Structure 1
């Protein structure tokens, strides 16, 4: 793999003298490094030379298999196929791509692509791509499944002063994929953090394991595309509708310690923070805002207060007295510190001399708005003096008036954020701590075709008695007595004692019991129970009815606990507010099995309605320990039974002393 990034000799197959051809751009970029021997292979120079470390192929798609055969004969072990015209073109292209992968494997060639941009390594000064520019040197690696986004990112980064160690365009991933390059970047001394643009994950379990290892020492930030749901499909359970693949991906990344972002803007802004040296294991959370404008600082303060993890440092009296000595009387010396609109660079300097001594502060957001007298460039150059004392986060707002300042910041090794939201949003995103990843053993084996989730129409509900047994094997118990005959009602109610009771119809044809009058609540006696039985059977006479579940009414706050088997990551475990409004509220969080009890307790705190469970207006909190036990046991069950595709425990009635499962469905 190292020869992809440090080749001594490269053959460009498809080299061209035409400035408009990819073959010309490849030769030109490679030739900028005089230490690399570059061989041009084309119709005029057909022979592939000996002793080539890396072959870059940019010819018509149909010619690629034979060229790889020729590379194999020359003992070339690494190849990048730039050419397009493969599976992105449809079935015929897919067949050709499979042939390319097979030829590469037969000839022991590590293959990147096809349909990719190439590779760039700033440390070895390698530009094995047709990108028009090489990025600034840095410690960030960029791994992208889109060449177009990669070139946009590199171009943007150059203008913003963000440097990269490596850029890898993955293309169609006929052979090498994101997993292979993450393994390499994990131990790459030139890389301190990793940015990834993903459209698909090759192996969910291996991806999680690897990212979990990497995030112990290097931040991993992921922008995942293709997360929207097009159209609504019929679903066989509540959990099925609440766990789209995008949610499974986000949960997997969170569990592995990676940061996920939802927009290119956030992706870019996080890259700026990483270039400044911000780490996920040492986040910048406690902030001071220094500004020459009141309005922008108020907006920034609101953004900090409304964030998930950031806070403004409370300046002590000694700090305030020191600020009073160097600032004009009308300056605001709280936090934000407003040194007012006529501030020159020396006023910023005096304030920073004081604020950099505040030990509680992790960083200082330095805001500047252009006034007639503002010394934009001088202030920007001044900040370099403080960047080794405290994390300096410049926000120079404006257009042409602050351009000289932006250039000065980049030249001094800093970056600029256009708005306060850019820096606070990015800081907030980088504060998620990695979660311990348990070993799933056989439960997280590599996926085969048979492991893929079947379409919902192929799922069927497990019979109730089997459901009760398989849940019970993992200490998950459904409340109530299962009856097949109305005559059994009398004895069941007598055993329960005084009501009220609930009666629920059990049928694979009835998903939402309330909608089909298949549940009766607050039943007080045997007469009401028999009447409810008759009514339910009359209304649902065409349904395949297994029986009826009789329960003593349970009080508590309703939650949903569930499992859905994701095609990429395997079993996902869900928790949220439950009951009949579960799908409407969609206040849920997920993890990938297996989960520990600590992780179960942590995930429950992430839902928006957590205060409902923590207790309001004198109510005691629910027993989170009991709920966590159910979550852990469900994750164990899911790994032990790959034939099960979905599980609903909804609702689970939670109180301070109990967690009672009053309804359950298992889908095969």
Structure 2
């Protein structure tokens, strides 16, 4: 069910502690906004000097109000913060919004103070947003506790940046979007992003949730909450391009970046991941209308060949397709358009819009009705006739009126179908385009924005949800090669026969247990190949003995592993690894492996553990997936067995929280079954 945040978003009464007449103080802005509630609830102002603030009598303390305070906004110097919070709790506050800064963001001492305050708040059964936040607003309950006003609408914004909210407000306006709620996350000492996301998912006034976060705290819980939201969730996050801060000791660790982890979590949870505030606004303009395409097939409509070509390219770049229209659709278009119009796809009116703006509406209707089309992108000059009467063609008022009538017909057709329609216009602010926006048709100035909006409306990768973590297993006592190998074998991963040896006598004894060819590995080296600690294809005992003597003289390793050499002739080498992210927990990586894993970087990521069906989709999505099906006379390999091995390996790693990095590389996939040829584990 999640935490009860009713007192935070719809309190019975509000008190602003630190209210001020000084415009330079944040308590002034908060107080002025709080008083905008038009009598929805009592608003008390508290200033230690008493007197009046903004023409309203101010109490010197919360206790002096003489009534229960449901929500207290605390905007006082850091030295007075704890006393203000304690008094608010004594006065019955169920919610506190802490504007005051100077806590965890300043270092360990501040973190300790912050934790102590949060514990007192929770012990009292209250909730706290912040500290070090910019407040919150809920347009559905007339609660205004931030310095800025937000246009009402259906988007809840949960943000670690106040200025980002202001930019989004500007970018929302052309799309007739607004905010249901805004919450500045602050330090998340008590109420977290996950708590707020879950509450906004239940909030009737919120249609979509936008998040800007630099610190997820519990990223896996965020993904779980987003997957369960039942509403569109879009995420803009900073620092995704930085590699993991810790020093990676395996290929898996070296290849896994923060960007990979966040992208995998978003894909699994069905979150739209964006890179800029502009893209965030574009995606929300598409998603708040509630329209989702059944597929990726887009029809492009233009009144100029150049715009059509650019739009088709943009659509394909965004992951959509622009298929040729079927003959029945083309026949319908021919009856509505003139001879020089192109009716394949893109559909080009070829100047007919200048003669008859109604041709836009007829063509849109035909394309939306076409069974081979999942969505429509109209691009180019539409909007220009009404934007400047007497524009192209000199049609003047008649053309402007015709275009506006076409816009009304397009809007009506849009309302009558579930398919998405998106418009790119050279004149997005024209009356005709405003008619479309009012009807819920997203209109953009940029072609790439229109294509991105359609991509957001199209089906994404199958939403797998966030896999539950298995019950922790008994910790591994050691992470050496043979210990890791034995643990994986016990879990069900097949390896070639092997024996640990320390001297020549034990080496020759191993040759009596299994035949060659052999592999010799120096143990207690993390990267054995890089150190020259692996010898392959040793035909018999004599070659094995010679290789041992050379390697031991050079490396002096305390022990070695003698192993049966696997036949790799018809196999494909994969890498399967798990890297434990501090925010999202175990993250799996699968890809083309062997010694070229880092150079080729043909890899895919998912939150671990990875079920076999999900692993199969990851493998099929690799650039080199064709190798798995056999090429140039090579047989297809057992990809089903490979997917099962991925499930086993990732489940094993997820059940061992003491493992920071686990890797099986290569995992040899053969026409029948798989064989792990090497493995390594790094303990946290």
Q: Is the TM value for this pair above 0.5?
A: yes
SS at match of 1:645: strand
Distance apart, 1:13 and its partner CA: 1.7
What per-residue deviation string (whole Å, max 9, x for no partner) do you get for residues 391-446 of structure 1? 454433436x85555544444443322222223234435623310444335349xx
Q: CA deviation at 1:231?
A: 9.0
Give, in angstroms, the shift of residue 107 of structure 1.
3.5
Unaligned runs of 5+ in 2: 51-57, 385-390, 394-398
Instruction: Tell me what 1:293 maps to.
Output: 304
Q: Are the structure 2 counterparts of residues 419 and 617 from structure 1 closer, same or farther at C-alpha, using a change threshold of 3 Å?
A: farther
Alignment of 1:14-413 (within 5 A): 14-34=18-38, 35-42=40-47, 43-44=49-50, 45=58, 46-48=60-62, 49=65, 50-131=67-148, 133-138=149-154, 140-214=155-229, 217-229=230-242, 234-279=247-292, 285-308=296-319, 310-341=320-351, 343-344=353-354, 345-369=357-381, 370=384, 372-373=392-393, 375=400, 380=407, 382-390=409-417, 391-398=419-426, 403-413=430-440
Cα 1:383–1:120 shift into 2, 3 Å: farther
Superposition pairs of residues 599-638 of structure 1, within 5 angstroms? 599-638=614-653
Q: 1:618 to 1:666 in 2, by over 3 A?
A: same
How far 1:252 sits from its partner (Å)?
2.5
SS in 2 for 1:167: strand
Please say if 1:523 is aligned against 2:550. no
Residues in 1 aligned to 2:112 and 2:512: alpha-carbon distance in whole angstroms: 69
Which residue number in structure 2 is paired with residue 423 of structure 1? 450
Once the two structures are superposed, residues 232-290 of structure 1 have per-residue CA deviations (whole angstroms, 9 ceiling, x without a partner) of 865322122122343233223322332322333322211111122235xx656322111
Deviation at 1:26, TM superposition (A): 2.0
- SS of the aligned residue for 2:415 comes to coil
Provide the aligned C-alpha RMSD in A: 2.9
Note the alpha carbon deviations across 1:36-73, whole angstroms, 9 max, x for none: 33222213221333233322222222222111111112
Q: Give, in whole Å, the separation in 1 of the partners of 2:334 and 2:454.
A: 30
Unaligned runs of 5+ in 1: 445-450, 452-458
Q: Is the 8 A contact 1:12 1:39 kept in 2?
A: yes
Aligned partners of 2:681 and 2:247: how far apart in 1? 17
User: Structure 2: how far apart are the matches of 1:151 and 1:116?
Assistant: 15
Please point out which of 12, 16, 25 is paired with 1:12.
Answer: 16
Contact persistence 1:179–1:202 (CA under 8 A): no
TM-score under structure 1 normalisation? 0.88
Q: Secondary structure at the match of 2:537?
A: strand
Q: Is the 8 A contact 2:19 2:31 kept in 1?
A: yes
Q: Deviations over 1:566-600 (max 9, x none)?
A: 22232222211111111122222222233322122
Q: Deviations over 1:167-191 (max 9, x none)?
A: 2221111111011112212322222
In the alignment, is the contact (CA less than 8 A) between 1:68 and 1:103 conserved in 2? no
In 2, distance between residues paired with 1:406 and 1:144? Answer: 31
Aligned counterparts of 2:232 and 2:558: Cα–Cα separation in 1:
53
Q: TM-score, normalised by structure 2?
A: 0.86
Cα distance in 2 between the residues matched to 1:461 and 1:146? 44
- 8 Å contact from structure 1 (residues 273, 427) kept in 2: yes
CA drift at 1:483: 4.0
Structure 1 residue 653, shift from structure 2 partner: 1.6
Whole-Å separation in 1 of the counterparts to 2:94 and 2:540: 80
Answer whether contact 2:105 2:111 (CA < 8 A) is retained.
yes
